[in-house]
Every structure is written in structure tokens, then in C-alpha cells.
Amino acid sequence: MFTIEDWHSTFILIGLFFFIIMGPCFAVAVMGYKTIEEMGRYPSKTPFIQMSIFWKLVPLEILSFLLLIVFYHIFPKANLN
């Protein structure tokens, strides 16, 4: 059976993983909403708007990928007991 300490470690793991996944998802959703509004206001500038959002998304995706790599690299070494 699981002890209280096991549940504590499990909730920490779930919280970290939730933050690593949902943080970039929330940022992409906010940027997408602003992009769609901006393209609705200035339809002739759509290529410029899309390239500007691309250059904002690239570092965000690299950061989220690196966070996942760090998480999966550190997690097996962590002593959760």
C-alpha cells in the first residue's frame, strides 16, 4: 500500500508535470487569441503577423522541450522516499 509520504511525492510529481505542460499551452493559447484578433484588424498584414508570432513561438517551444528534458533527466535520479 501507499503511505502518506508516497502520496506527497506523487502530488509533487503531478504538479511539476502539470506546470511544465500547461504553462506553454496557456502561453500559446494567449498568443493565438491575440494573433487572431490582430489579423482580424489588419488582414493585409497577415504574413507579417504570422512571422512575428512564429519568432515568439520558437523560443517558447524550445524552452518547454528543454524543461521536459530536464524533468526526465532529473526525475529518475531523485530519491522520492
* Predicted local distance difference test score (pLDDT) of residue 10: 80
Rounded to 5°, angle at Cα 28 from 27 and 29: 90
Amino acid at 49: I
pLDDT band at 74 (very low <50, low <70, confident <90, very high): confident
User: Does position 31 have pLDDT exceeding 90, yes or no?
Assistant: yes
What percentage of the chain exceeds 70 in pLDDT?
Answer: 88
Query: The pTM is what?
Result: 0.74
Mean predicted confidence (pLDDT) in 1-13: 74
Burial 30-60 (b: 16+ CB within 10 A, else e): eeeeebeebeeeeeeeeeebeeebeeebeee
